[in-house]
Amino acid sequence: MIVGPIETHIFDRQFDFILDSNGAAYYFPEQVIPKYGQILKPGRFAFVRLLAGAMREGRPEELFGEAGFIIEKQEGNPKAEMDFLVRRANL
């Protein structure tokens, strides 16, 4: 568990799985999802729940793609909450 701003936290390893349900990405997806793309091992999965309206620009699908993720499953309402199961692309 990370307490504090994840975008400035220095990680000394990568992770096998990320679970972010109503966590940092829920409120700050534009700052957090790129960081998740750096700390998740290639080919591994993350579950991320996003709050509709938390993004200032673009769409969540574009943000995940830019961070190196492939969306495996997407559910929810774009006007409320959206759940994403994403896999980091093999590099």
**End-to-end CA separation in angstroms for the chain:** 26
What pLDDT is stored for residue 44 in this prediction? 98
Hey, which residues does 40 pair with through a beta bridge? 15
Per-residue pLDDT tens over the stretch 30-82: 999 999 999 999 999 999 999 988 887 778 999 999 999 999 999 998 888 99
Does pLDDT of 12 surpass 80? Answer: yes
pTM across the whole model: 0.89
pLDDT of residue 59: 87
Q: Which residue has the higher pLDDT, 77 or 17?
A: 17
Domains detected in the chain: 15-88 (3.40.50.150)
Residue 49: both structure tokens together: 């729940």
Q: Could you tell me the two tokens for 22?
A: 């109503």
